[in-house]
A and B are shown apart, each in its own frame.
Chain A
């Protein structure tokens, strides 16, 4: 991330310096402002969803889902702690029903619970979770359907099946690539 950040910042700023030097500060401050309003929006979504997920966790529902998803989770992420497993189960279940507000916090917590305090390199299970998010597990793309509907599509739901096919294939390709290219020499334990 550090390298990407450096490249993007330096290249963009140098480029802008020759075209429109005023824009550097204006754009940056605008982006900070946008981040704050995005954070407020996200806070609203996360507060609601994490509250709901906490209830589901306390009632034992998440454990039940985790048991149900035990095999796929073990296949994808290997042996993990119980806490990590329950975050992973929450993430997968939330993604499938399209509740991305519940999925993202669960993923952040899952990665946090896998990481050791001094770890600076992402491990294979973390990359796996990241790839699953990047290739999208959502079964019904509600936002997309909403936009199609708003623009007068005759049958917005027709997009569900092809999206599912493409999404599934790209997810499988991603999973295979992580399994092949991100293997690590493990020294004991998870």
Chain B
């Protein structure tokens, strides 16, 4: 079912445009042009966050923070094996997907650990990455409580996922 939603929606957009007599060709080209501009605008931000995150990871500090907070998560019912994954998630999208793949391969796709990891992966996003690129077209540098709230929600959903998977 999920496989069809996006393709059907795309077809619908074209049929709707046709029915409304829209210049679909002109629109497509204009959208593509805007996208190219956008990519150049966000590229420096992607570089900045990725350099910072990779150094953070390479230095072992990310791992150290994981180890520091892992007992707290275990206390709240989150499987120990997932502590690293939960901390990687806000920093690195590609990295956490790779780790998720590892977890599923190691513990088996239908294991409790994998199910909790699936929910964590599906219910939160790469906080630091979004924080940089969302504001890339503006001069905004001060995000106030945005990141603390986002991180709180990420950790909260990890704890919730661990509980929900015990029921389901």
Contacts and interface: CB of A to CB of B under 8 A. Distances in A.
Interface of A: 1-2, 4-5, 8-9, 11-13, 15-16, 19, 23-24, 27-28, 30-32, 34-36, 38-39, 42-43, 46-61, 97-99, 104-105, 107-109, 111-112, 115, 117-122, 126-127, 129-131, 133-136, 138, 140-145, 147-149, 151-159, 161-163, 165-167, 169-171, 173-174, 177-178, 181-182
B121 A174 contact: no
Contact of B13 (A19, A59, A161): A59
A59 B16 contact: yes
Interface in B108-134: 108-110, 114-115, 118-119, 121-125, 127-128, 130-134
B76 interface: no
Interface string B72-99: 0000000000000000000000100100
Interface residues of B, number: 92
Majority SS of interface residues in chain B? helix
Given A12-B58, A39-B46, A42-B39, A104 B122 contact: no
A170 B145 contact: no
Interface string B1-14: 11001100110011
A130 B5 contact: no
B105 A151 contact: yes
Contacts of B145: 127, 177-178, 181-182
B101 to A, nearest CB: 6
B68 interface: no
Contact of A23 (B58, B153, B160): B58
B106 to A, nearest CB: 10
- The 4 A-B pairs at the shortest CB distance, nearest first, are namely A54-B31, A141-B122, A153-B109, A51-B31
Nearest to B55: A12
Contact of B164 (A12, A15, A165): A165
28 contacts: A1-B141, A27-B58, A31-B51, A31-B54, A47-B35, A50-B38, A53-B31, A58-B27, A59-B27, A61-B16, A99-B9, A105-B34, A107-B134, A111-B138, A115-B137, A115-B139, A119-B138, A130-B134, A134-B153, A135-B123, A140-B1, A141-B118, A147-B104, A151-B114, A154-B109, A159-B122, A177-B145, A182-B144
